[in-house]
Structure 1
Amino acid sequence: MARKAATPTPPPLTWSSTFHLSPSPPPPSLTGDKLLLPQAALETLLEAASQSAANHLQSSSANHDPASWDYIPPHEALARRNDARQQLPHPLTFRVTNLVTGRIAYAGIREFSADEGTIVLSNFLRECLALPSLELQGEQYGAELDDASIKVEAVNIPKGTFARLRPLDAGYEEDWKSVLENHLQKNFTTLVVNNILAVPRLPHQSGKDFKFLIDQVKPEGSEAICIVDTDLEVDIEPLNEEQAKESLRQRELRKKAESSSGGQINIDGPKEGTISDGNFVRFNLKTWNRSKPISINVPEENVDVLVSTDTIQGYPKLEEWTWARFDGSKPIIILPDDPTIISAKELRISLQVYEQTLIDTNSKKPMPPPTNFLLSITQSLQSDSEDEEMTDTTPDTETCSNCKRSIPKRSMMLHQNFCFRNNILCPHGCGQVFKRGTETDHWHCTECKSYGLNTPDRNTYNKHMDIAHTARRCTSCDYSAGSLAELSSHKTTTCPNKLILCRFCHLIVPQEEDTNFTAAITGLAPHENSCGGRTTNCHICERIVQLKNMDVHLKNHDLERKSKPLPRICRNVNCARTKTFEGPTDNQLGLCTVCFGPLYSSAYDPTGQALARRAELRYLTQLLKGCGKSWCTNEMCKTGRANMKPPLPPVPSKEATAMVKPLVTKEGLQAGYYSHPLHFCVDESLSKRKHLAEMLSLADDSQGKGGWAIEWCTKALEVVAHEATDELESLNKAREWLEKFAVRRDE
C-alpha cells in the first residue's frame, strides 16, 4: 500500500483586539450574530493566521524520518506555508466581551468595513452584551457609549450536531423547524446556550416575533457551537406542560377550520372548497387553448384571487402576483397576446380571505368558520370587455329616471311614487341605487374612481385603502411602493432579490440588480446574463458558443436546416447512396460514382451512343446470366428474379432485348435524374441500407409528426454508415442525424 502523508489539522488562530462601539446604528444587512470590523483588523488577522500556520507546519515537520507516516517533504511544507499566509479559518468565529459589564457573546464576521478603531454590532449582539439601547438619546446615550469598550478574540468553536429549542409562547407548529433552519442559515454563525432567538412569524401569521430559548446544544459540554458547514438537527420542545396543552388546543382549532387542499384544475372544470382565515388554497392550470382568452372567476366577493405563472417561484402571495382581484366585482381576464402568458407553461392560482382573523395566543375565542368558494376557469373567442347592460326597452316600457329600470308605461306613475320615496340614486354618478337609510354604507374613493359598499361583516373601504393607497416597503430590498399592485409588480419583475430558476446553472438564485437594462433587451435576468457568459460546445457544429447565445445559435442552425434542398439519391433504384455532385459530362445518368463506375469509359463519345450500348450490355448480362448474389432482389436480374417470393420466371433473349431497348435510349439515359429509374445490381450492404431507409422513412418519430422523406433517410444512413456496427446502431445514429440536419415532411 502506498504511503500517504497525514493531513495536518488546521492551526488554532490566536488574535485579540479591543475596539470602541460605533455610534452609528447597524445597517439593515447586519442581522443575527454578525459584526463589522475595521480593515486593519483583517490585516492583523492575516498576519496572525500566517504565523500560526508557519509554527504549526514547523512543529509538524520536525520528524525528518522519510519512512514515517507523518513525514512532510520540504517542498510540500514550503508550499503549505505559502498557501497558509493568505488564508483564514472558515468560518471566522469570535468571542466578544463587554469590558464594562463583563457580558460575553459569540459572533461571526459580516464585513471588514467599520471605521478604524470601532466595531459595529448587530441588534442581537447588543442585547446579548447589555449595551445601551439605540432608542436612548442625548447625554445619557453618549456617556454610556464612551465607556463601551468591546474586546474581540478569535476562537475555534466546535461544529454543532444538535440544538434543542424551547418556544417561549404557545402556538408553535411543526413547520417552525424548516423556518428556523432557514433563519439560522441566513443570519447566524453560532448558537450559545441560554440565548433567546427572535424569529419572524410566518407570512400568514400576525403578531410579534416568535421567541425560542436555546436550551441544549451538542457536542455536550460546549457553551457555543458553530452551525456553518455542518448537519445540524433542530428539535423543538414545549417549555412546560401548560404550554404544550395550549399549543395542542390551538392546533385542534385550526384542524376544525382547515382549508381545501386545492390541486390541479382544468378548463370548464369548476372546483368547490373552503378557505379558513389566514390560509391559501392553491390551484394550477397546465393546459389551455393559447389562442383564446382565459377567464378566472370566483363569485364570492370576500374571496381574493391571486394569479401568476411558473416564471415566479412558488405560488402567488399577497405581495407577489401578476394578476389579482380584490374587489370581487369581475373575473380576471388574461388575453392570449399577454407577454407573460405567451411563454408560460403553467398558471398558478391562490385563493385567500383578505381580512384575516387569526388566533390570538392570549385569546380563548374559537376560530371563525371557513369561507366557501367556487372557482371556475373558462375560455371564449369573444372579447371579455366590460359587459354592456342589456336593456329590455320595448314600445310598452319606459326607463325610470331614478333607478334606471325598464317599467311598463301603465304602471310608471305608481312605480315612481314608490321609487322616489324609498330609493336613493348615488349622487356621484356611479348609477347605484340604495334603499333609504343604507346610503351611508356606500363609499367613493377620493383618490381614484373606485366605489363600493360596506357590509356588517367587512369594511370594504378600509380594504380598498389598504390595498390601493397604502405605501408598502419591499421586504427584500429598499424599494418603497405606493400600493400593493406597485409592490407586486416590483417583486415579480425588477427586485434584485426576486428568486428565479436560472436557465443555465439550474439553481434557484436571486436575479440581482439590472444596472444596464439588459433584461429588457435580452429577456435575461442579470444573474442569467452573467451566468450565461460561460461557454460550451454546440452539439451540432462543435463551435464554442456562450450559453446565453445558444438559443440564437441553434435557431440559425434550424433556419439553415429548413433551407436545405432535398438530397438527390442515385437513379439506381437498388442503390442507397446520394448523388452529391453532377460529376463529369458523361455522367448525366443521375447515378452515384459507384454505380456509374462500370459504365465509365475514357473514349470520346460526344453523342452518348457508346454509353447507351454499355448500359444495354449490362442490362442483358443481368437478365440472361444473373449476378449470382444470394441477396439480390433486382427485378432486372436473373438471380434477383429467382430470389423473389414468389420467384419470377427467367426472361428469354428476345424478350430481354425488347425490355432493355426502351431503358437505354440515348435520350432516356441523358435525361438523368428526372427520367425513368435504372435497375443495376448492388452489393449486400447497400441492399440492407436501402431496406433500412425505407423502414425509417415510414416510421414517425416519438412526437407523432410526419417523419422524413426517403431521400433524407438515405442520406442519414449513408453519413453514419462508417460509425455504426449493426443495424440497430445505424438506425439510432441515423435518427440523431435526421433530428439535427434533416427537414421533416410537415416543416
Structure 2
Amino acid sequence: MIFKKKLEFYETFGDSDFSDKIIVPHSMLNDLIEFFRAPKNKDPDSTIAATSPNIEPFAQSVDREIKNPRTPRILSKRRVGAHKRDKGEFFIRDSSEYFLNKNTNDNSGSSSSSSSTDLASGKQSSFDSLIPSPLTLVLKKSPSDSNSSNTVELCVGIKEFSAPEGLVGIPYWIIQHLELNKSDSIDLKYIKLKKGTFAQLLLVEPEKIPTKINIRSILESHLRKNITALIENQPITVRSVNETYTFKVLELFPDNKVDVVDTDLTVDITFLNTDKTIGSNNHNVKNNTDLVDGFHELSLNKKVKSSLNGQPKYFFYKLRSLSSKMAFYKASVECVDSDIDFVSRVGMEYPSLLNFDKFDFSGASNSTKSINFSLSDTSSDYDYVYSFAVIPTSETPCDFFISIQECDQQDIGDNTGTSKDISALNTTSLTKLGLDSFEEVNPDNVICNNCKSEVPKIRFNIHEAICIRNNQACKICGLVLSNADFKDSKHMHCYNCDYYGDLSDLSKHEKYYHSKWECPRCPEDSFESIVEFGAHRNSNCPDRMIICKFCHILVQQGPQSIRMDDVMHGYHEHESYCGSRTVICKICNKNIQLRKIQIHADTHRLAKQSQPLPLKLCLNIQCGMPMAGSIVLSAAIKQFFANSNNSSYLSLNMNKNILGMCTKCFSPFLVHETDKNNANLLKRVVRTLHSQLVYGCKQEFCRNKKCATGNKELKATPTEAAGMILPTISKLTSFLNNHQTDLADSLEINICVDSQTNTHKECLNQMITLQKTQSTKRYLPEWISLALSANKNNIDESFKWLNSYAPSIE
C-alpha cells in the first residue's frame, strides 16, 4: 500500500525560504495516522506498537523529545540538534518538525476537529509512535501536468499541518527547481529513506566566498536547521550574513536519496571546473593581495593613499598577537578636501553607520579622524582582525590617507569623536592667559580686559586698541576669537550640550547626537543619538552579529531569549537554540546539551579528582601489579573495561591472600593443607628468598638486586644469605602472626617475577620517571599501574587514559 496525495500548491515566505520543509493540510495528519495504523505499513524501526496500552502520553513524549533533540552531523565533529519549536500546541517528533498550529482553521470536517480536540487534551497519544521520524515525502509535478516522463523529484519533510485544505505550501526554490506553474498540481508520496553517510557537493560560485569565512560550518548549520533529505542533482542554497551560496548535490551514499537527520554525514565540497576541495576552512580561489573580499589590507606604520567617489572604502588590519611588542594601536585618516566618517568593528566585517564598534564623527574642521584599539578588542575567533570603513558624507570625490601606528596605553582615548568638555577648554584658555589663581601676574604687565592676556605696560595702549578692533570673547565659553571667525560662524555652540564648532560641524553634531535614530529591526525603539543607537546595535538588538559559542559561525543573535538560564548567560535566540543541541559524553555516554557541556565536564572532573585509590600494589617490590582482592573501580572505569572487552582487572582481583601480593607472586607460596601459625608459608618464602641470593632465578631478563641472576656482583654464601634475609623474615612473621598491618609499608620482599610482570614493572618505573622530567600531570603509582593494565603496557595510551580517568596530584 502506498501513501500518495495530489494537491495544489502555493508559495511560502519567511525564514524557511531555503528549507525543504513544506506545509500540508491538517487532514493529511489524519490520513497519515490511518495509513500507518495498517499492519502492513507500520514502520519496522518503531519500538512501540500502535496498540500498546502502555504508550506514554503525547505531551510527555514531546517534552522528552525537546529535552533530547536528535541531530544530524557533518564530518562527525559536532552533534547538532533539531529545529527550534515554533509557537503552537505540540510538536510531533522534533527532528522532522511536525507541527500543530494553535490557531489552525479546521477545514477538514468533524473528523479533523475531533482529532484536534483529542490532541489538545492529551487523550489521543498512540499515533506519536505510528508516524516515523523523520517523515520524508517525494514531491514532484503531477504526470498529467508534465510534458516529460523524466519529472524532477525532490525529497522533503513536513513543517506544519496548517495549510488550507487541498493546498500545500512550498518554498520558492522548490517551485523554481520543479519548474512549476500556477496551474500545476503536485504529487506527494511517502518514502522510507536510508540514513546518509556520504555526500559530495559542488560549490557553484566559489569566487563569492570571502577568504575568512568557514563555509563548512555555515553549510552544517543550514543542513541542521533546514534540510530533512537529499537527492542527487538537488540544489542547496545557503544563506550567510551578507551573501547566499549555491551547492549542487553530485553524489550520495548509500543511495541516490538519503535522510540526513540524526546521522553522521561525511561531506566533500568541490569547486566548479577545478579539482580543489574545501577542508574545514575555506581557501579563496582568487589570489589578489591588494584587495581581499572588498577590503584593503593595512600595514603597521605605513601610510596608504586612497580616494572616495561617494561610496565607502573598507580596510582591515591583522594584529600580530605573538610578535607585536605593543598591544595598543591608533588608526588615523586624514582628509583635507571633504568631510568623512571613520568607523570600525572587530572581525572581517563591513563597518557602517548601522554596525560599528568604535567611531570618530568629528566635523569637517577636524581633517584627521582617529580610532584607538588594542589587542584585547579582538580575539582568535575573529582571526585577530580589525576592520575600518571610511564613509563619505557627500558625493564629492576626495583623496585621503590612512595609517596604523603603535601607541602607548595612556594615548588610548574613548573614541567619542565630537564630544568635548567645555569646562576643560575654559580652564585651558584661562591657564594660557596666565589667569590661573595659583600664578601671580608680573607687576610689569597689565591684563587686557578684552583677551585676558598679559601685556607689558609700555605696549598696553597699542595692544588694547588693536585687540578691541579685531578680537572678541565668546559670551558663553569666554574663548577669544577673531571677529572674522564669529562673522563666518566658525564658533557656534550646541544648545543641548557643551559642544562647539563651526556651523557645518554643529549641523553634523546635531544630526548625530541630538536627532532621533531608529533601528531598522526594532522600529518601536528610538534613540536620542547615534551613540545610544550604536550601543543598542551592539547589545540587545536581534540584528547584532556574533560568533556563536556553539557552532562558531558569524550569525545574527536574534531576539532575547525568555529562558532563565539563557538570560543569566546572555544568550539570545540563536545561541539558545544552538546550545540546546546535544553531544554524547565520551565518559558516561549520555546526551548532554552544548550549553551544559562545561558544567557536565566539571562534574566529571570533580568526580574524578575525588576518587579513592583504585587498588593497592603488590607487596613484592619487583612486581608493581595490583594486590589481589584490592581493586575497587568507579562506574566510569568499569564501563571503559567493558567497552574495550578488557576484563583483566577481574582476574587480577581474585583470590585475596594473606601476604598482600598479586595472584602471580603468591601462587608459589600457596598452602593447601592446614597451616598453623603460617609456618609452612614462612618456610616457602624463606626458601625462595634464600635460593635467589645463593643460586639466582636463572631468568635472563631479571633485574632484581637481591637475586644472584639479576645482580652479578652478588656472591653470597648460604650463611651470608641467611643473615641477609633475617630482618625481612622477622618483620614478615610479625606481620602474619600478630596482624601488624602497619609493617606492610616497611616490608621489603624482593621476589623474582615472570617476563610479563617484569615488563609491567619497567613501564611503571618509566612513567614515574617521565612525570618528574616532563611537564605532565603527576599521578600516584597505583593509578599508573591500573592504566598500564588497561592499556596493555602502552605508555602513551596509559598517559591518555590517566588524563581521562585518574585524579592528578594537585
TM-score (norm 1): 0.52
Q: 1:261 aligns with which of 296, 315, 319?
A: 296
Give the 5 Å matches for 1:351-390: 351-358=388-395, 367-376=397-406, 378-379=408-409
Separation in structure 2 between the aligned mates of residue 590 and residue 625 of structure 1, nearest angstrom: 26
Separation in structure 2 between the aligned mates of residue 325 and residue 597 of structure 1, nearest angstrom: 85
- Counterpart of 2:446 in structure 1 is 413
Determine if the alignment matches structure 1 residue 530 to structure 2 residue 594. Answer: no
Determine if the alignment matches structure 1 residue 632 to structure 2 residue 632. Answer: no
- Counterpart of 1:546 in structure 2 is 593
Separation in structure 2 between the aligned mates of residue 565 and residue 424 of structure 1, nearest angstrom: 86
- Counterpart of 2:692 in structure 1 is 622
Separation in structure 2 between the aligned mates of residue 30 and residue 715 of structure 1, nearest angstrom: 54
- Counterpart of 1:242 in structure 2 is none
SS in 2 for 1:446: coil
Q: Which amino acid counterpart does residue 534 of structure 2 have in structure 1? A: S
Change (3 A) 1:368 1:322: closer
Identity of aligned residues (%): 21
Q: 1:576 aligns with which of 617, 624, 627?
A: 624
- Counterpart of 1:555 in structure 2 is 602
SS in 2 for 1:280: strand
Change (3 A) 1:293 1:561: farther
Separation in structure 1 between the aligned mates of residue 141 and residue 552 of structure 2, nearest angstrom: 27
SS in 2 for 1:283: strand
Separation in structure 2 between the aligned mates of residue 85 and residue 722 of structure 1, nearest angstrom: 45
Residue 9 of structure 2 contacts residue 185 of structure 2 at CA under 8 Å; is this kept in 1?
no
- Counterpart of 2:182 in structure 1 is 153
Change (3 A) 1:533 1:517: closer
Q: Which amino acid counterpart does residue 783 of structure 2 have in structure 1? A: K
Determine if the alignment matches structure 1 residue 282 to structure 2 residue 316. Answer: yes
Q: CA deviation at 1:474?
A: 3.3
Residue 307 of structure 1 contacts residue 347 of structure 1 at CA under 8 Å; is this kept in 2?
no
SS in 1 for 2:317: strand
Q: 2:387 aligns with which of 337, 350, 359?
A: 350
Determine if the alignment matches structure 1 residue 485 to structure 2 residue 531. Answer: yes
Separation in structure 1 between the aligned mates of residue 496 and residue 386 of structure 2, nearest angstrom: 29
Higher relative contact order (CA 8 A, sep 6+): 2
5+ long unaligned stretches in structure 2: 18-22, 33-133, 146-158, 166-180, 187-206, 212-217, 223-240, 243-268, 273-289, 363-367, 448-452, 456-462, 633-652, 736-740
Residue 778 of structure 2 contacts residue 808 of structure 2 at CA under 8 Å; is this kept in 1?
yes
Residue 293 of structure 1 contacts residue 380 of structure 1 at CA under 8 Å; is this kept in 2?
no
Deviations 1:251-288 (A, max 9, x none): xxxx99x998326x8xxx65543454321211233637
Aligned residues: 510
Deviations 1:190-228 (A, max 9, x none): xxxxxxxxxxxx99xxxxxxxxxxxxxxxxxxxxxxxxx
Residue 46 of structure 1 contacts residue 88 of structure 1 at CA under 8 Å; is this kept in 2?
no
Change (3 A) 1:353 1:442: farther
Give the 5 Å matches for 1:614-693: 615-642=685-712, 648-666=713-731, 670-672=741-743, 674-675=745-746, 678-693=749-764
Deviations 1:13-50 (A, max 9, x none): 7789xxxxxxxxxx997999xxxxxx9xx869999xx9
Q: CA deviation at 1:452?
A: 4.6
Determine if the alignment matches structure 1 residue 461 to structure 2 residue 514. Answer: no
Determine if the alignment matches structure 1 residue 320 to structure 2 residue 350. Answer: no
SS in 2 for 1:441: coil
- Counterpart of 1:707 in structure 2 is 776
Residue 542 of structure 2 contacts residue 556 of structure 2 at CA under 8 Å; is this kept in 1?
yes
Change (3 A) 1:462 1:298: farther
Q: CA deviation at 1:617?
A: 4.0
Q: Which amino acid counterpart does residue 352 of structure 1 have in structure 2? A: A
Residue 588 of structure 1 contacts residue 671 of structure 1 at CA under 8 Å; is this kept in 2?
no
Q: Which amino acid counterpart does residue 602 of structure 2 have in structure 1? A: K
Give the 5 Å matches for 1:85-234: 153-155=182-184
Q: Which amino acid counterpart does residue 315 of structure 2 have in structure 1? A: V
Q: CA deviation at 1:516?
A: 0.6
Determine if the alignment matches structure 1 residue 741 to structure 2 residue 776. Answer: no
Q: CA deviation at 1:369?
A: 1.8
Residue 589 of structure 1 contacts residue 673 of structure 1 at CA under 8 Å; is this kept in 2?
no
Q: Which amino acid counterpart does residue 392 of structure 2 have in structure 1? A: E
SS in 2 for 1:413: strand
Separation in structure 2 between the aligned mates of residue 175 and residue 581 of structure 1, nearest angstrom: 61
Separation in structure 2 between the aligned mates of residue 639 and residue 176 of structure 1, nearest angstrom: 72
Separation in structure 2 between the aligned mates of residue 358 and residue 307 of structure 1, nearest angstrom: 21
RMSD between aligned residues: 6.3
Q: Which amino acid counterpart does residue 467 of structure 1 have in structure 2? A: Y
Q: CA deviation at 1:521?
A: 1.2
5+ long unaligned stretches in structure 1: 1-6, 17-26, 33-38, 51-82, 95-109, 117-151, 158-173, 186-201, 204-230, 235-254, 360-366, 643-647
Q: CA deviation at 1:604?
A: 5.8
Separation in structure 2 between the aligned mates of residue 654 and residue 381 of structure 1, nearest angstrom: 87
Residue 330 of structure 2 contacts residue 406 of structure 2 at CA under 8 Å; is this kept in 1?
yes
Residue 693 of structure 2 contacts residue 714 of structure 2 at CA under 8 Å; is this kept in 1?
no
Change (3 A) 1:672 1:293: farther
Deviations 1:465-515 (A, max 9, x none): 333333334344545442333333333333334454544455655433224
Separation in structure 2 between the aligned mates of residue 475 and residue 739 of structure 1, nearest angstrom: 51
Change (3 A) 1:463 1:709: same
Residue 15 of structure 1 contacts residue 154 of structure 1 at CA under 8 Å; is this kept in 2?
no
Deviations 1:51-94 (A, max 9, x none): xxxxxxxxxxxxxxxxxxxxxxxxxxxxxxxx999986599xx9
Separation in structure 2 between the aligned mates of residue 155 and residue 499 of structure 1, nearest angstrom: 41
Q: CA deviation at 1:552?
A: 0.8
TM-score (norm 2): 0.49
Q: Which amino acid counterpart does residue 296 of structure 2 have in structure 1? A: S
Q: Which amino acid counterpart does residue 575 of structure 1 have in structure 2? A: C
Separation in structure 1 between the aligned mates of residue 444 and residue 756 of structure 2, nearest angstrom: 97
